[in-house]
Structures are given as C-alpha cells and as structure tokens.
A and B are shown apart, each in its own frame.
Chain A
Amino acid sequence: MKNLKEISTRLEIAKKKIHKNNESTNDAYLGKALKISTEFVAAVVVGTTIGFLLDNWFDTKPLLIICFFFMGVASGILTVFKSAKKMQTK
C-alpha cells in the first residue's frame, strides 16, 4: 500500500509539472499574432468585395464600395477585438 501512495503523489507532482509547461509558450504567442493580423485584412477585403459585387449589381458604381469598405474595416476591428478578448479570458 505504501508503494501505491508513493506512486500517486509522484503522479500528482508530474501532473502539476505538465500543467505548468502548458502555460502559453512563445510559439503560441507568435501564432496568435499571425492570427490577428490576417483577421483584420480579411475582413476589409471581404467587405470591399461585397461592396464591389453589389455595386455591379445595382449599378451604383462608387457608392456601395465606399460604404462596405468602411463596414469591412469596422468588422475587422470587431473581429480583432473579439479574439483579443478571448485571449485575455483564457
């Protein structure tokens, strides 16, 4: 029985060590940085593309592309905000 107890305490120590090691390494930070930067760009691109398509459709050439560009920027900021918030709560 004594042996078993020893093993269980050892296991606990090992588990704690694993937990410590998992706390965000440098790689994870680099991944997060790359993630956020592309999120912003993608939102702007998608917003502008939607504006361009709608412009062609409704024949309102420069109007909607300008509107949707700014909405794309807004949604990009929103996405970056959301993911930053998610990182903080973790």
Chain B
Amino acid sequence: MSLNPMHQFQVYKIGPEINLGGLNLSFTNASLFMTVSSVLILALLFFGTKKKLLIPSKIQLITEMSYTFVAKMINDTAGSAAKSFFPFIFTLFMFVLFSNMVGMLPYSFTTTSHIIVTFVLAAIVFVGVTILGFVKHGFKYLELFVPKGVPMVLLPLIVIIEIISYLSRPVSLSVRLFANMMAGHTMLKVFGGFVISLGLLGGWLPLGFSIALTGLEILVAFLQAYVFAILTCIYLNDALNLHH
C-alpha cells in the first residue's frame, strides 16, 4: 500500500468524528497541515518583527524580503490603487507558499494538492474581484465583456466568448496550482517506489532523479505561489482600472 503513489493524497480524520447538522466537520490531516502552515506563517511574522534591528537578523530579513516582494508585485501589476489590498494578497501568497513548502517535507501532507482547497481560494478571489468591480464601476463593469470596435453582427458571439473567458479564470487559477502540486508529488513518489523495487543494484539512478526532482519541486512550489498571487493582482487591476 505504501508503494501506491496516490496513497499520499488520502484524507483521513484525526480524532473524533464531528457531525454538525449533516456536515462532516471532523478534523482531518488536511486541516492539520493547513493549521501547521498558518501557525508557521504567524510564527515567522511574529519573530521576524519582534526585534526591529537596523541591521536585520536572518529571520527579520526573510520577513522584510517577503513583505517587499509582495508589495513590489502589487505595485508593478496593479498600480498604487491596489495598495489597500496588500493584506489580502500577502495572506494568499504566504498561505499557498507555506502549504506547498510544508508539503515538501517527508511524511507531510500537501493541502494544495487537493482541488477543493485551491478552488476555494480561487473562488474567493473571483467572487471578491467581481463584487469589487461592480461596487467600483456599477453596471459599467459589464463593459469588460464588450470589446471596442467589434461589428454589431459579431457582438453576441464575442460577448459569450468573453463571458466564458471570464468564467474560466477561477478554473485555470485553481487547476494550475492543484495539477502542478499533485503531478509533482506523484512523480516523486513513483521514483521513490522505483528506488525500493530496483534495490541496491539498480536503485541509484531513480534515487538521483528523485533528488533532482525534489529541487525542481521546491522551485515549482515557490513559482506556483508567485503565479497565484500575481494573477490575483492582474484580476484586481482589471476590476480597479476598467480600461485595458
């Protein structure tokens, strides 16, 4: 069973079963590792900002770097108008990053390798951005679906295509993160399984692959968090500044 590469994605409950009005709210390993990454983020930010040295310590440096990284990203992609959304994007980025990174540890569970987790994150972004657009521009926000300079005959078709393109945003956002994490972890496990089954004689080659893939996976873990955050910024920009 432990050689099954999909076994690592199994969700099982820890502790007693909690049933609230037909809803299964049991504490699972997924919830455990979400809590772990949240606590790690809080710990990093707490200890990083505790002693404010002029010459920063290592942990303070990491905190300041992540702050400036996200702040610069928002400024570059969404402009200064989006500065008030810094806490949201920072939270999103740190949560995805830490979930991915915690998943890289042996015996841990990758919460972002489940589509429901990533889809909820993407849906929050999608619904939030849509509401923001309507609040900011009223019904003018619907102009997003009507590009300028299109002949009247083609307009209904183009509007449907634009609406599909708008609705595909949360899907692409969530599927990208989920697929990357799941594929990567499955691949790692498959190569790990080869090491065991080929034994001492032939196991060295897949072991080398495993090590190389681990490096790649760490890169992908960071990259996906970055892509998730930067796309949120781009969608925010679309909602804040209608002309595009």
Contact = CB atoms under 8 A, between A and B. Distances in A.
Contacts of A50: 164, 167
Given A27-B219, A35-B227, A75-B162, A43 B168 contact: yes
Contacts, number: 65
B91 interface: no
Contacts of A71: 157, 160-161, 164
A85 B71 CA distance: 24
Interface in A9-47: 27, 30-31, 34-35, 38-39, 41-43, 45-47
B176 A35 contact: yes
B231 interface: yes
A38 B164 contact: no
- For the complex, would chain A's binding face be called helix, strand, loop or mixed by DSSP majority? helix
Contacts of A38: 172, 175-176, 179
Contacts of A46: 164, 167-168, 171
Nearest to A79: B165
Contact of B164 (A27, A41, A43, A86): A43
Interface of A: 27, 30-31, 34-35, 38-39, 41-43, 45-47, 50, 68, 71-72, 74-76, 78-79, 86
Interface of B: 157, 160-162, 164-165, 167-169, 171-172, 175-176, 179-180, 219, 222-224, 226-227, 230-231, 234
